[in-house]
Amino acid sequence: MSQSTPAESLGCGASAPLRGLRVLDLSRVLAGPFCTMILADLGADVVKIERPGSGDDSRHFGPFLPDGLSAYFASVNRGKRSVTLDLARDEDTQLFIRLVERADVLVENFRPGTMDGFGFSPARLKELNPRLISASVSGFGRTGEHGQRAAYDIIIQALSGLMSITGADPRHPVRVGTSISDILSGLFTAIGILAALRNREATGHGADLDLAMLDCTVAALENAISRFEVTGQVPQPLGTRHASITPFQAFETADRPIVIAAANDGLWIKLCEAVGCAKLGHDPRFLTNPLRTANVVILESLLNERLRRQPAAHWLSRLQTAGVPVAPICTIAEVAADSHFAARGMLHTMVGDAQTKFTTAGSPFRIDGVLPQLSSHAPGLGEHTEHVLRDWLGQSSLLSDEGQ
């Protein structure tokens, strides 16, 4: 990749709210890198510390561009700078210490105890830099019974209960189609970092954050736990249905399924009128949402029978005109071709070493109507080592100092 400076090419324009924030990113694969990508998108100078020779594991995950760049890696590491350090070498450890002393934030997602083994326990980091916000993201956190267990997204989805309520029926639990536990952990970590930075403004003190993927996923179970506590019934997978709102699910048409969300009594009446079965709207079995939910099996059968008579486009037009929330179930190809996402800046173009262009998801942030200035590049392994040593330490090479 071409060499770059943090100001113009890494999304640090004058309007970037995190401009000037220095982040050391020791994380790899997804949860940590997703968190630090959010910070980079918002203007932070994110320095990715990687192992010499191999780097982040996800550099070796497909699909790959013709120049060998991993699209997986690029999709969550745009706008960062890569520095290679081997923390088993004393010289590299000393450089890392100096970087820590100048950092605002440090993010890592090793198994608990790994940083201690490197000689950088929370207490040691605080000693080196009392203003540092240090964020640790692990599968199970530092406390509890499972701290040393290996954790991958599917393991966390299973243990959190999320898989038990996802799918068509209890016998066939389904993993959510993205690595949602990793993504949630990245989001919660970014929120925690921003909260800690706000607190630092008031106190002058840094913070040590301990986040667990399992905790983050349980926190996102919506009302599943409270439903169990209140009703005594263990939540089950319901396919596309909602547990307490009906109709709020996918229905069949003549050619492809559509989703209908008639979430109140007024929308229910409009739905029945739009599909040509107005009498159904006044059927005693379906007069209220609790009644519709209790009788969802027969309601679903009646609506499917009606909707199967026409193609999806017919019903989408009629229901949208009637003001009933409705949508097709889009494929990723349809999303990538949708002009709405292009207009919103959600289809972001990345550029590889050989100037090969490819599309990734953009950033959802709009601040005063302005989109973040996203980088079109992911860093090559160790690409920015010299630049970072100069920018952060005033050092022109690994072996010489300037003004030290």
Point out the residues that are catalytic.
242
SS3 state at 263: coil
Return the closest-CA partner of residue 320 out of 258, 264, 277, 247.
Answer: 258
Give the separation between CA 147 and CA 150, rounded to whole angstroms: 9
Let me know: does 308 contact 314? Beta carbons within 8 Å.
Answer: no
Angle (CA) 164 169 175, round 5°: 45
* Residue 97 CB partners (closer than 8 Å, separation 6+): 128
Give the separation between CA 379 and CA 36, rounded to whole angstroms: 14
Strand ranges of the sheet holding 45-50, from the earlier edge strand across to the other edge: 81-84, 45-50, 22-25, 105-108, 133-138, 207-212
Q: Hey, how many other C-beta atoms are within 10 angstroms of the C-beta on 356?
A: 12
Question: What are phi and psi for residue 303, nearest 5 degrees?
Answer: -70, -40
Residues in the chain, total = 404
First-to-last alpha carbon distance for the chain, in angstroms, is 30
* Residue 74 CB partners (closer than 8 Å, separation 6+): 350, 352, 358, 360, 378
Give the separation between CA 172 and CA 163, rounded to whole angstroms: 9
Give the separation between CA 266 and CA 250, rounded to whole angstroms: 19
Return the closest-CA partner of residue 212 out of 174, 169, 159, 168.
Answer: 159
Return the closest-CA partner of residue 83 out of 100, 63, 66, 61.
Answer: 100
Angle (CA) 321 322 325, round 5°: 90
Let me know: does 368 contact 16? Beta carbons within 8 Å.
Answer: no
